Each structure stands twice: as structure tokens, then as C-alpha cells.
Amino acid sequence: MSWWVLHVDMDQFIAAVEIRRRPELRGLPVVVGGSGDPAKPRQVVATASYEAREFGVHSGMPVRAAYKKCPEAVFLPSDPAAYEAASTEVMDTLRAFPVVVEVWGWDECFVGAETTDPEALAASLRAAVLERTGLTCSIGIGDNKTRAKLATTFAKQPRSHATPFEGAADAPGVYRLTAENWREVMDHRPVRELWGIGSRMERNLNELGLQTVAELAAADVDALKQRFGPKMGAWYAALGRGLGDTEVTDVPREPVSRSREETFERDLVEPAEVADELRRIAVEVTRDVVAEGRSIQRVWVKVRFTSFYTPIKSRKLKAITQDPDVIASTALDLLEKFELRRPVRLLGVRVEFAVDPSAPA
């Protein structure tokens, strides 16, 4: 038997949970987010059903914009408790198999297993989840996490233009991506399709003449390290070749930071008002951290303007602290680096926890 990594990704999870408890919504465009009232400002779409996505509605867009694109959609308020409960149902179903389950969020996890037939295992997992929860999922199979995660995108495409593995027709909702077919499937694709490559990093790589996955795989590692730093440069080079971690663990991931952000009902125009709100948020997040017995070593500040331009700036503290005034002062110092020429719709503060020197390496 061989060790396989499977990536399980729930299909339109939040919308599916809502449809499960309201079966009459099946087949209709459903949009979930905020209070569910598209007339109210400052609300964001959490998810949209596949039917709503056909109208151009997607997660992260303002609910009002979603309404303009699809006024006939059913708009529902977010219910995090229901999604948490449904996620627990799914993960417990997977844990009933002889596998290791590493949870990455409400709607996704990695599954590690020793098996001679990963497609059969994936089909069994999908069937069990559907039977016990009424929810569907897609599963990517890989020889590491990078390839398994990417394979899921092809598993979600019934008419994927990726070359299918042998026997794929017998395993709907499942796709295998390994070292064996990596180049055939991925070489011609733009770097943007790789896990962890956003639009900004795509532009940076394009500036180096790296347009495709094949070009990134063949890139000079030293040049990548010089541009992006020794750690990230090496990581991008490995990503182009589909290399990645093979370990799957059921030990919960330890949080490394805490954040608070707030979208305001009305835009903040005066700099003094922006500063007051930022100080308040910084103090609140610091108190959250101190209540957990943590200390802080770095501070980030996020500012979203009415244009949705959202710059982020950070600073490492000279000394580890639990003092809210120090965090607030640092946040305000960072705020001075922003050009507050436009109204502000959102402010956020994230703090990175200090590493416990007594913890094992």
C-alpha cells in the first residue's frame, strides 16, 4: 500500500447547508451574507449557490452588488453556528474511516491514508458524506498536499479540460494529480492557477518573464530568492514543480495571530476619527490576546478605502509586550504611512503572537 493525500472540499458549502434545511430553495439562486437584507449597506456575500454564480455573484462582493446582478435571488442571513455544526458532521463522518483528517476550515480538509486504491477510497468518502449529511463534496487525490489541493479544482469540473487519469469516468467528483501527470496537466497553465499565487504575485512573476507553470518550474532559483527572499523564492520554485508537504496530522493547528476588523456603517472622512477607531480596535484585539495568556511581537494595520483599495502595513515590535497602549501606539505609527486622501470604509488590526521560548522546536 502507498501513502496518499486527499483534499476534501465541500461543494458550495454554506449555500448547501441553507438549502438542506430549506429544500424548496434547491435549484434557485441563493446568496448568503450579512443580515440577508440586500438593502442594508456594508454587507458582504459569504457564498452563493451555483445558480447565483451564473449571474456573476461571488463570495466577497457587496450584497448590494449581488442584488443588482441577480435581484431574483433568495438572500439569506449568515448563520455561523449552523455551518460549524454541519462541518462537524462532515469531519466526524470522515473520521469514521481508517484515515487521518486535518481540518483546514468549515468546508475543507486533508485526508491521509494508506491504500492501494485512492479512487475507491475517495468514492467511499463522498458517498458516506452524502448519505450521512445530505451534502456533497469533491475530492482531489495527490502524492502531496499541493497536488491534492489543485486536483480538487479539476474534480469540481465535470467537463474539465485537464487530461483525466485512467478510470476517471468511473469516479465523478474525483481527480488525481501526481508527479506522473503533473507536467501534462499543469505545464501550459498560467502561474495564477497554482495554489497560493494571487493576482499580485502573478504580476511579480510575470515581470520576471514567468508566465506559465513550466516557466516557473524551470526558473533560476537564485533569481527567485533574490526577488522574493530565500524562503519564499525556494517555495515558488518548488510550487512550479508541484512539490509539497506529504504529512497529514489530526493535531489542531496552533493559531499564530489574532485580528479584529470593522466595516463602518458610514465612511470615515476625518483623520482624527480614523485614528480614534484604529486605537479602539487595537486595544480590543490586544485585550483578546492577553486574555488567552499570549504576548505580541508584530502588528499589522489594514485600511480599506471606499475604492476597495486595501493596503496593509506591519511592524515588528522592539520588545514582546502585552500592553494595549504599546500596540495602539504602534498601530497609529503605522497609520501615518497610509495616505488618507479618500474616505475609509474598513479598519483592521492583526497581531502576531510571540513564540514561547520554552516550547519544543
Which residues are designated catalytic?
108
Rounded Cα gap, residues 106 and 12, in angstroms: 11
Quick one: CA torsion of 80, 83, 85, 89, rounded to 10 degrees?
Answer: -170
Residue 312: CA atoms inside 13 Å, Cβ hemisphere, count? 10
Report the helix count and the strand count for the chain, using DSSP H and E: 13, 12
With beta carbons less than 8 A apart as the criterion, state whether 353 and 257 touch.
yes
9 DSSP β-pair partners: 108, 138
Note whether 15 and 79 are within 8 A (CB): no
Per-residue DSSP letter, 326: H
What one-character DSSP code corresponds to residue 62? B
> Rounded distance, CA 54 to CA 203, Å?
28
Residue type at 235 in one-letter notation: W
Radius of gyration of the chain (CA): 23
CB atoms under 10 Å from CB of 90, counted, come to: 25
The SS3 call for residue 85 is helix
- Distance separating alpha carbons of residues 208 and 178, to the nearest angstrom: 27
Question: What are the cell numbers at 120?
Answer: 475507491
List residues bridging with 316 in a β-sheet: 298
Contacts of 294 (CB under 8 A, 6+ apart): 258, 322, 353, 354
Distance (Å, whole) CA 81 – CA 83: 5
Euclidean distance between CA atoms 84 and 259, whole angstroms: 20
